[in-house]
Amino acid sequence: MDKITLTATLSFGLEAVVKRELQALGFSDLRVSDGKVELDATPEDIPTLNLWLRSADRVLLKMGEFGAKDFDTLFEQTYALPWEEWIPEDGVFTVTGSSVKSQLESVRTCQSIVKKAVVERLSEEYDTTWFEETGAEYPIKVSVRNDVATLTLDTSGTGLNRRGYRKQAGRAAIKETLAAALVQLSFWNNGRLLIDPMCGSGTILIEAAMIGRNIAPGLKRSFASEDWAGIPSTAWEQARKHARSCIKSDVEMQLFGYDLDEEMLFASKSNAKAAGVKKDIRFEQKDVRDLWIDQEHGIVISNFPYGVRMGNFQELNQLYISFNKIFKKKNGWSVYVLTADKKFPDYFKRARPNKTRKLFNGAIEVAYYQYFGKKP
């Protein structure tokens, strides 16, 4: 059981970011495809990936993959997998699933067939028909895509976006994993000024501060696989200890967050405090129309309000016009805007975007418009 295959699942468009994160953690031979990065690993790597990946959704342990066009094949092939290597007699296991462009269309039937096959396999292995289900949780996922079934165990449990610091989210808060990706896709580094003029609950700035301080994003939460017998418990302890030792305490950052809404600022401050980065970010109530920039160089990363989720279109146009006025002559500023509104580039007249990246904020398709500023 020493060599295993792990899959970091992610939101479409973030493949390159997660690949870079894995490389920075020392992993190579990474297989990238739509929505995931697969790698060879050992059980001891499970804590590291869960604690450190900033932009991935989950870390899955691959149990097997096979072609399945009918339910008999799904049952037989699932039954043939060595589930007992991971799931003990008292293990609790639920099955969730998905099906895309496949003959096995009914997700519910796929789930119940997989559950039946695993129960049958474990019944024979443990010579029992009664499972107490009092032990650790082993969430099984069956995903069928183009008639190929992939069976995995979810080592993360709740999604990796749930860092544990965001007790209060704004109406249109972005996922922490996406916010971390926006920062990593920008030119920002510790030494540079960064503002989010419509910061909402502060997610982008909090993620930047955590990157700047090298705080592992998963350090304050727990994971489904923490009690798995297949991962030495010392591996979790060691990975947490190492992560704590990596935190940089002597870093000075220039991070500023503004928002019109007082309640949002209250939320940002309490979230930043919970994340351990309160003193790194200055939050202030301000209308973006009153923003005054006197520095020559800096970086703006912001997730604009947009019609699909909030705001009305006239107000938005006014907002774009003000934003354009502030930054159109600030050529030393790199401007990064995430929005679902495809008209945004028509209003921001400084230049055409240097790069536009298609991303997803939950189920909503958005674009990340990137305007590069002149180097300091």
Nearer to ligand SAM, 174 or 210 (CB): 174
Least distance between ligand SAM and beta carbon 252 (Å): 24
**In this chain, which of 212, 257, 298, 305 binds ligand SAM, going by CB under 6 A?**
305
Least distance between ligand SAM and beta carbon 274 (Å): 14
Residue nearest to ligand SAM (CB): 200
Nearer to ligand SAM, 46 or 199 (CB): 199
Contact 353, 274 (CB under 8 A): no
Per rule CB under 6 A, is residue 204 in the interface with ligand SAM? yes
Per rule CB under 6 A, is residue 173 in the interface with ligand SAM? yes
Least distance between ligand SAM and beta carbon 362 (Å): 12
Residues 96-155 within binding reach of ligand SAM (CB under 6 A): none
Residues 255-274 within binding reach of ligand SAM (CB under 6 A): 259-261, 264
Contact 243, 216 (CB under 8 A): yes
Per rule CB under 6 A, is residue 247 in the interface with ligand SAM? no
Residues linked to residue 99 through DSSP beta bridges, in sequence order: 144
The token pair at 329 is: 């002559």
Per rule CB under 6 A, is residue 203 in the interface with ligand SAM? yes
Q: Please provide residue 339's backbone torsions phi and psi, each rounded to the nearest 5 degrees.
A: -155, 155
How many residues line the site for ligand SAM (CB under 6 A)? 20
Cα separation, 37 vs 48, in Å, equals 15
What SS3 string covers 211-263? HHCCCCCCCCCCCHHHHCCCCCHHHHHHHHHHHHHHCCCCCCCEEEEEECCHH
Nearer to ligand SAM, 32 or 288 (CB): 288
End-to-end Cα, the chain, rounded Å: 51
Least distance between ligand SAM and beta carbon 275 (Å): 13
Contact 42, 6 (CB under 8 A): no
Cα separation, 371 vs 345, in Å, equals 10
The residue ranges that bind ligand SAM (CB under 6 A) are: 170, 172-174, 198-201, 203-204, 259-261, 264, 287-289, 303, 305, 319
